[in-house]
Amino acid sequence: MSRPIQIAPSVLPADFARLGEEVAALEAAGVDLIQWDVMDGCFVPNLTFGPDVIAAARAHTSLPFEAHLMVVEPDAMAARYIEAGCGRLIVHAEACRHLHRTLAAIGELGATAAVALNPATPASAVAHVLDLVDLVLVMTVNPGFGGQRYLDTMEPKIAEVAALLDAAGRRDQVDIEVDGGIGPDTIGRAASAGANVLVAGTALYRHRDGLQAAVSELRDLATAAAPSPS
């Protein structure tokens, strides 16, 4: 059974002076969850949301929050992002000296754990932690900024992650997410390769007809391209 298509906005392009209203608008536009791109200025050359900012937005929507932790010390910050209202934490394999331990610790804190792979990191890096995650994020840009060009060279890696999940018997329990350069011209390719959670920032906020039209268009394109259930 294939995993349901989900549209997850990145709030990087949102108006940071009105984040409460912005997350409410995203809920009204029909997104499935909200991704917070947490950046510490070390793992990536940008700095974004602390847990208190996310906590302030929490009361303005009932949508699930996930924190994409682009940080060098995810273990030190995990509990605070969970307390802020993030039900899923996505850590980077490249930032974790002990990835298995970090993912298990997130589960013990009561959140769902997920792992992200930068473009140069092979799918095999997650082969031995698939029992600890509910999502694998295949980055389709180098992390740090929105509005970058989609890396189509990541499509074989998406398929490799799907094959690893199949081999582990976890394909029906674990989502494959992509993030970076996802828009009308690229979402079908990513979905066809096996991604079912599609993160978009620029494509949502710059759509000529607004957020709701953007969400509907992206969802329709991804659904049409997704592999038929085996």
Task: State the nearest-atom distance from the C-beta of 139 to ligand DX5, in Å.
Answer: 7
Task: State the nearest-atom distance from the C-beta of 166 to ligand DX5, in Å.
Answer: 26
Asked if residues 150 and 198 have their Cβ atoms less than 8 Å apart, the reply is: no
* Coil vs helix vs strand at 126: helix
- CA separation for the pair 180, 139 (Å, rounded): 6
Please report the DSSP string for 80-112 in residue order. HHHHTT-SEEEEEGGG-TTHHHHHHHHHHTTSE
Q: Active site includes 37?
A: yes
From 32, 37, 40, 175, active-site residue: 37
Closest-CA residue to 182 (of 208, 150, 223): 150
Task: State the nearest-atom distance from the C-beta of 230 to ligand DX5, in Å.
Answer: 29
- CA separation for the pair 155, 108 (Å, rounded): 32
From 179, 185, 209, 220, active-site residue: 179
- CA separation for the pair 159, 217 (Å, rounded): 24
- CA separation for the pair 210, 215 (Å, rounded): 9
Instruction: Considering the complex, state which of residue 105 and residue 155 has its C-beta at the smaller distance from ligand DX5.
Output: 155
Task: State the nearest-atom distance from the C-beta of 25 to ligand DX5, in Å.
Answer: 17
User: Would you say the C-alpha torsion 74, 48, 89, 175 has a positive or negative sign?
Assistant: negative
Instruction: Considering the complex, state which of residue 43 and residue 159 has its C-beta at the smaller distance from ligand DX5.
Output: 43
Instruction: Considering the complex, state which of residue 36 and residue 194 has its C-beta at the smaller distance from ligand DX5.
Output: 36
List residues binding ligand DX5 (CB under 6 A).
10, 12, 37, 68, 70, 141, 143-148, 179-182, 199-203
Instruction: Considering the complex, state which of residue 107 and residue 184 has its C-beta at the smaller distance from ligand DX5.
Output: 184
Catalytic residues: 37, 179
